[in-house]
Amino acid sequence: MKIALSALSALTLQSQLVWGVYNLVREYSGQNFFTGWDFYGNYDNLTNGDAIWVNQSLASTDHLAFVNDAGHAIIKVDNTSFVPYNDKRDSVRVTTEDFFPVGSLFIIDLVHLPYGCSVWPSFWTKGPNWPIGGEIDIVEGVNQMTFNQMALHTQDGCTASPPSDQISTTTLTNCSAVAGCTVAEKQPNSFGAGFDSAGGGVWATQFDVTGIYIWFWTRSSVPSTVNSSATAVDPSTWGPPTAAYPSSTCNITNFFTEQQLVLDITLCGDWAGEPSVYQETCPASAPANASSCYLENVINNGTSAYANAYFEISYIKAFNVDSTIVGPSGTVSVSPASATAEPPAASSSSGSSSASGSGSNSGSNSSNAASAWGPTLVPTILAAALGVSALLAIYEPDYVVSS
């Protein structure tokens, strides 16, 4: 398509590439927390875990997914049933019904994280055709780890190139490797018993055309603007992120489609149950082997083994620069007032983007989403050097420069 830009429009675009305020589009909290989530209803057929992710009915009946007296959502592993040999233990995995396009930002406030030998919890995002469409691991760890690990998972061609002021440490840079491109948290109390004893903490994830950025704050250091009543946030005020994946070496719109949010807890599996990983924090009764994690934790009575294997979630919020989501009926606009309601019907003017594709929204929404943090200066410099038309030709493949 052809776009005519006046001098004023050019200045506006340049400003939007530098500053961005994200508006609330979905809130999962209180008694309505589980509205808008799908329960997996099958065994863990993704990571070879020894868990059955039960359906919503069973999760409710067995008290594995509920809202406690504090108004916090609980998602937990069954720690009361006897599990015979060769069976798996019940747990929960939930995925949002909505998809969130590039130009979104996610905040999760956790009071308690699951931990313990064999326990593998995660809060992450995925595309509709996972593993195609990208994956963002925001909170993840295993067994008795004390530090969180973040990662991206993509197809070939995406690498991590962290800026010098990234707070934590990049440990792997190839995002298409099995482990992804990982960042190891440096701040204490980011996982395990230490996280819980410190009162929990908050993660924010910016999913933007300029890159993917993750911030972590312990309870005592959460910014005042990040709270349960916030209907808009501005990440430019948060300082350097914990983990940074600039688009300079990973074109976000090429490697990521719209994303769903996922919460799950599996047991053992490819990571927690790998013998060398398991024995690092969970000494086996004998030299660890492929069965140690399962035999010493999953089977028989699980009361003590899984006493801490639960999420306690104050809230999860999703924000977007254009106040849009991709719901079951297509792309829709959402006001903060309706962020906790059922997804509204699709607007006839919202275009034909769907949850299963990377429609026109997935790239262009976030060109006015960038924060003032470091990488967003690059588009500004390009705009000045090349002119706005040339910049649009780079960032918008459908844009045609007209004379």
**Catalytic residue ranges:** 135, 140
Three-state secondary structure along 360-389?
A: CHHHHHHHHCCCCCHHHHHHHHHHHHHCHH
DSSP structure class, residue 236 = G
C-alpha to C-alpha distance for 228 and 350, rounded to whole angstroms: 29
Query: What is the C-alpha end-to-end distance of the chain, expressed in Å?
Result: 14
Tokens 């962020």 sit on residue: 339
Phi/psi of residue 366, nearest 5 degrees:
-95, 0
Q: Are 400 and 2 in contact (CB under 8 A)?
A: yes
Q: Is residue 240 reached through a cis peptide bond, with omega within 30 degrees of 0 on the bond before it?
A: no
Total Cβ atoms within 10 A of residue 374: 18
Q: Are 315 and 229 in contact (CB under 8 A)?
A: no
DSSP structure class, residue 298 = I
- Can you state the percent helix, strand and coil of the chain, rounding each to 5? 20, 30, 45
Selection from 4, 13, 14, 3 nearest residue 380 by Cα: 14
- Please enumerate in sequence order all residues whose Cβ is within 8 A of that of 70, keeping only pairs 6 or more positions apart, or say none: none
In angstroms, the Cα distances linking 284 to 191, 198, 277, 303 are: 22, 28, 11, 19
